[in-house]
Amino acid sequence: MNTSGIHLHTKSRWLREWVELLSSMRFAISALVMVALASVIGTILKQNEPFINYVDQFGAFWFEVFKAASLNNVYTAWWFLLIMGLLLVSTSLCVIRNTPKMLHEMRTFRDHVRINGLRALPQHSEFVVTGERAALAARLQRLLQQHGLQTRIDVREQTTLIAAKSGSASRWGYVLAHSAIVVICLGGLVDSGLPVKLQVALQGKQPIRGNALIRDIPASGYLSSSNPTFRGNTLLAEGQSSDQAIVSYDDGMLLQPLPFEIALKKFSIDFYSTGMPRAFVSEVEITDKDNGQKFPATIKVNQPLIYKGIAVYQSSFEDGGSHLTLKSYPMRGASDAVAQIKGDVGGSAALGDGSEKYNIEFTGFRAINVEQFAEADISKNKPAASVFSSASKVHADRQQKNIGPSVQYKVRDASGQAREYHNYMLPAEIDGHLWYLTGMRERPGEPFQYLRIPADAEGTVAEFMRLRAALANPRLRALAAQRAASAVQFSEPAKAAEMRAQWNASVTRMLGIFSSGGFEAVARFVLDNIPAAEQPKAVRLLMQVLTDGSWYVWQEARRDAHLPELPRNEANRDFLERALNAASDSFFYGAPMYLQLDGFEEVKASVFQLTRSPGKKAVYLGSLMLVLGIFAMFYIRERRVWAAVTTQPDGSQSVLLAMSMTRKTMDFPQQFARIEQQARSALLPKPEANTEASKAVQKDE
């Protein structure tokens, strides 16, 4: 098969060269490889993510590179559509150029070949028989037909040639496979968003950037209702309806009017026994805008609703504005007063007074959270800063657990800077203890880093918050230092007063250092004030002083709250140690308050993907054609057999058999040998009597 392009007979040299290039097989293969590479990029790099996610993950420089090359949206990029178009044109020209040749090869029997040309084939055999040439030719024809070959006889002056063939349908493999690429490219271009790009370029459509109310969107922000293809989304809370889809375009969006209105009546989620979601089900009502007809429908994952050429898929689910009640615990200062905050997901609430004002933006709520936990890496000797880490960063066998509701929100200060938080309503059991997990991240796309707050004997954060506030209270620290010094028994009574005063000062200093920066502040004090050789011993002594003083700080705080003091048993000592770790880590928390979810009224929302994709059927058809074409090319083998009976001067008949295949297989020689043996048996009644008279030439490659 010729892989060069079409040679156009024209005086224009550049047109002739371009047509030859576009119609050549090498150009089509190059375009196909480029499409494949682009598809690999689109698979590896997440598509249609918010720009800030690419900045956070790859940095500002590479984000600009990705944006300039449209790698964040490969399949609708201009260069990808151009390559697809060139591949379509090139493959079409290849099909136009080669299909007539293929069809001609399928029809022809090659019955005008030269006899000497048959002798040049690797598989041929020649022997001499007696009899009438016509009768011998008829026997050979029947033999070849018994092998499933189509035959044609060409009678010449001295020779009768029987040309036979089978497997010509393999030629259809080329036509089907290459036509499949054309059909798939057509379907892909139709559904590629090209119509949307044309509307923006030619009809003055302008993408909407930022947040805007529907009533404020101008006509230029709406796509045509007759738009042949689009892919958009709509989010509906229970009880809401919409007759528009949001189509993403670059860093903005366009609105696509729908021929019907979709209303979400109920959204439900089924779960496995492990707590993992099993099925999302949306019960909707469709209202036809043309005739007002209404009908109910159920949409599930992989079970879309298709109406008026638009498929409505169950894409995902979100919160639809759940009503939340939260408790606000101070994370700075000596106050442990609890405030109550109410808000809705998607809304905000103001918090703070005086110079410190904050805005709480509620961004998400989930009633069920299935997480993977194991024996957490919370070591008693672990540095303080390292405890502030991902809650899922574990090293043992993982188990899936439903740890209850969670809320996600942003804390934005007066300067506009914000951190995002993810708090669980219920404590999670890690390493045999109950912890309240509160995650923080400074930029979207980053994983949350979790602070673990120990739950007290009542399963609340009250005792931790009481201890944290007390450690920041100079009065309580002073009282605790006095009690700690009084509780120490000294061996020399004469020096007891002096040593008690020194112990009091040491406890006061350590509590003050810890309250200013946690264990990190204690570590700086040791490094700056104690010789290196004495630091290990000093650290042990200082930790004993800090733990002893913290115990009395806790008890003084309980006394102020009119609560009885706790016994100094193993359980309370363990809680104190974990609480000190959490108090130290709270300096990395970044927010002046901890919000604990106290109650909620869930409002569910369903995210639908709406598509009009007429090219989908073309892609399916092309895929089927591609499979059939490849099957035909690889599994249907074309065979051609020639049998020539030539009358010799002495009246005998010379029989020449030859065979060829497009792809020679291991059993090719055996096939020819069987045909030859059967031909000899049919034409030579007594093969052994004619051994001396027969001539056989066998040449194998």
272 and 368 inside one domain = no
As given in the structure block, the two tokens for residue 490 are 């000294």
Rounded CA gap, 486 and 597, in Å? Answer: 42
If we measure between CA atoms, which residue out of 380, 561, 445, 326 comes closest to residue 53?
A: 445
pLDDT of res. 407: 96
84-95 confidence digits (pLDDT tens): 999 999 999 888
Q: Which of 699, 647, 655, 616 is nearest to 186 (CA)?
A: 616
Both 507 and 557 in a single domain? yes
> What pLDDT was estimated at residue 103?
87
Judge if 162 and 207 occupy the same domain.
no
* 72 and 155 fall within a common domain: no
Distance (Å, whole) CA 301 – CA 281: 7
**Structural domain contains residue 620:** no
Asked if residue 699 has pLDDT above 50, the reply is: no
Number of domains present in the structure of the chain: 4
Q: Which long-range contacts (CB under 8 A, 24 or more apart) does 393-396 make?
A: none
On the question of pLDDT at 375 being above 90, the answer is no
Q: Is residue 689 part of a domain?
A: no
Q: Which of 515, 506, 494 is nearest to 557 (CA)?
A: 515
**Does one domain contain both 355 and 289?**
no
Express each pLDDT in 589-599 by its tens digit: 999 999 999 99
d(CA 458, CA 564): 15
Q: Report the mean per-residue pLDDT for the chain.
A: 86
- Give the residue-averaged pLDDT of 662-672: 82
Q: Which long-range contacts (CB under 8 A, 24 or more apart) does 688-696 make?
A: 690/128, 690/129, 693/128, 693/652, 694/127, 694/128, 694/129, 695/126, 695/127, 695/128, 696/125, 696/126, 696/127
Res 280: pLDDT:
87
408, 542: one domain? yes
**Mean pLDDT to the nearest integer, 41-57:** 83
Residue 244 is predicted with a pLDDT of: 93
Contacts of 202 (CB under 8 A, 6+ apart): none
pLDDT of the residue at 405: 93
What tens digit of pLDDT does each residue of 142-182 get?
A: 999 999 899 999 998 889 999 999 988 888 998 999 999 99
Count CA within 13 A, CB hemisphere, residue 598: 14
Q: Is the pLDDT at 377 greater than 50, yes or no? A: no
Residue 262's closest CA among 318, 305, 291? Answer: 305
Q: What pairs with residue 597 in β-bridges?
A: 326
Question: Could you give the CA distance from residue 607 to residue 299 in angstroms, rounded to a whole number?
Answer: 11
Q: Does residue 491 fall inside a structural domain?
A: yes
Question: 372 phi and psi, to 5 degrees?
Answer: -100, 125
| Judgement on whether residues 313 and 334 belong to the same structural domain of the protein | no
Query: Confidence band (pLDDT; 50, 70, 90) for 276?
Result: confident
Q: Whole domain around residue 535: which residue ranges?
A: 322-374+400-597
pTM: 0.66
The Cα 546–Cα 509 span in angstroms is 9
pLDDT digits (tens, 9 = 90+) for 306-341: 999 999 999 988 888 999 999 999 999 999 899 999
The per-residue pLDDT for range 557-608, each reduced to its tens digit, is: 999 999 999 999 999 999 999 999 999 999 999 999 999 999 999 998 999 9
Q: 455 pLDDT band (50/70/90 cuts)? A: very high
pLDDT exceeds cutoff 60 at 386: no
How many Å apart are CA 678 and CA 680, to the nearest integer?
5
Does some domain include residue 625?
A: no
